[in-house]
Amino acid sequence: MTTTETPWWKGAVIYQIYPRSFQDTNGDGVGDLPGILSRLDHVASLGVDGIWLSPIFTSPMRDFGYDVADYCGIDPLFGTLADFDALVEGCHTRGLKLIIDQVYSHTSDLHPWFTESRADRTNPKADWYVWADPKPDGTPPNNWMAVFGGPAWTWDGRRKQYYLHNFLTSQPDLNLHHPQVQDAILAVARFWLDRGVDGFRLDVADFYTHDRSLADNPPAEGGPRDRPWQYQRHLHNIDQPETLPFVERLRAVTDEYPARMMVAELASDQSLRCMVDYTRGDHRFHTAYSFVFLGPKFGPTFVRDQVQKIADAGPDAWPGWAFSNHDVVRVASRWGKDRPTRYLKMLVALLTSLRGTAFLYQGEELGLPQADVPFDRLVDPEGLALWPNNQGRDGCRTPMPWTAAETQAGFSPVEPWLPVSTTHRPLAVDQQTDDPDSVLNFTRHWLAWRRDQRQLGAASLTFLDLPGKTLGFIRGEGPGRLVFLFNLGDEAARTALPAGAWRAVYQLDAALEDGAVTLPCGGLLVAAIDG
């Protein structure tokens, strides 16, 4: 949503594309850049403002592109730099912005920087990664654990030291305390900005720096635990004060280019506080999103509490919101399971009605549930390490279903890298396009209506005190402000509308009578207050 007063990204809806699973055009079973270009009309038809493109850079693909071996190269699996340039042009021709994933916390262990760094302790890049001597007994320098399991340290026989990796052993952490490393990363950012990208999504941006004293992390309290990472409070290996000066340098580079933006992914267990810190003012990230809405918790009180905490932090802390992405169980299965299709429509509307920037994951416009990927088809290192209690991220990464009756649902002419879910075929784009009551057509209609509500871009949000499972809030102030009501519960709910002159401007199965509205499970109403 763009106005002359509001930057394009404030109030925007950005569509996330996971390239491996969007469209295969060369018959290798993996999606590619020409495939994305061929499907841009679908993305544009949704009424979104831009695209977030997950990594397409040169990589051994041990973490499917989040282990970068060349920051300025396109992996041949996806195409070429010329294909990328064509995609940029294709997006801009359709009025779509394009932001790309940037992984600045760590690289692949096959990156030339790491190859040089690990050679010895005196080479020019010796300190470009986080190296530490063992304890006197030979054990790692501290107790830090890796996200995917096991210690966050791996022994290297060449240097006779440990190197830090917060994720896989093949993803060594960059030492962003080092000015030369920062300069090299800023040069990468300029490379892509010069090619016309409209901004960046910054992977695990609160992992950029570590406590140089290497102090042990304290144990965590309570809560379910299915991996060693969850046994600690991550006070020393992530979210350090030294991260913010680097963020400010990165913002200064981005600001050299008009109308660019950055959105940070934040994984801190203090995610809302972190979101505020990393987006405060006009010299840090433009926006950020956390995992608060990417887990099982949901309900009107929970939504209100999370959104209100950001609002209370001040108007310059601009949030980003996502209900699904490539790392978590799809929202249709987390919050919409065993609920009517209407509930999935409502979730799209709720996500894109909150004050902030919204991120819609590919397939969310179809109401796709989590796919069940059998163990012998799992490829995600997280799923392989934690199966069967945690089946990893493959179930949200399966191919997009385009045409129900075609081979591999129109994604590829051959067996794809992950199987097409049988539950997804009936929800394919061609099936939903012809169904006026589909989630897809609701998404198109809703976002088209939303785009016309110019006042929503940076408008205030004020929650209403409502009983039961109805969530309500007002966007904007003065005449023309909008009241949003959503029934998040399983039972029908009756709610009185605000006193004064109002009129219904959008509804989903809402029944209006005597100044009140009755909403079924997943029902919604938007009313304009003219008085």
- Catalytically active residues are 203, 256
Residue partners of 514: CB distance under 8 A and separation at least 6: none
Mode of pairing for the β-strands spanning 261-265 and 287-289: parallel
User: DSSP characters for 284-338?
Assistant: S-SEEE-STTSSS--SHHHHHHHHHHHHHT-TT--BEEES--TTS--HHHHTSTT
Phi and psi angles of residue 31, each rounded to the nearest 5 degrees, phi first: -60, 160
Phi and psi angles of residue 223, each rounded to the nearest 5 degrees, phi first: 85, 155
| Residue 457 contacts residue 3 (beta carbons within 8 Å) | yes
Grouping H, G, I as helix, E, B as strand and the rest as coil, residue 211 is coil
What is the radius of gyration, based on Cα positions, of the chain? 23
User: DSSP characters for 499-525?
Assistant: SSSEEEEEEES-EEETTEEEE-TT-EE
Least Cα distance to 55 among 16, 3, 94 occurs for 16
Grouping H, G, I as helix, E, B as strand and the rest as coil, residue 483 is strand
Q: What is the DSSP letter of 447?
A: H
- 139's enclosing H/E stretch is none
d(CA 174, CA 105): 6
d(CA 166, CA 209): 11
- Report how far apart the first and last C-alpha atoms of the chain are (Å, whole number): 25
d(CA 168, CA 148): 7
d(CA 86, CA 37): 8
| Residue at token pair 């850079």 | 57
Residue partners of 339: CB distance under 8 A and separation at least 6: 490, 521, 522
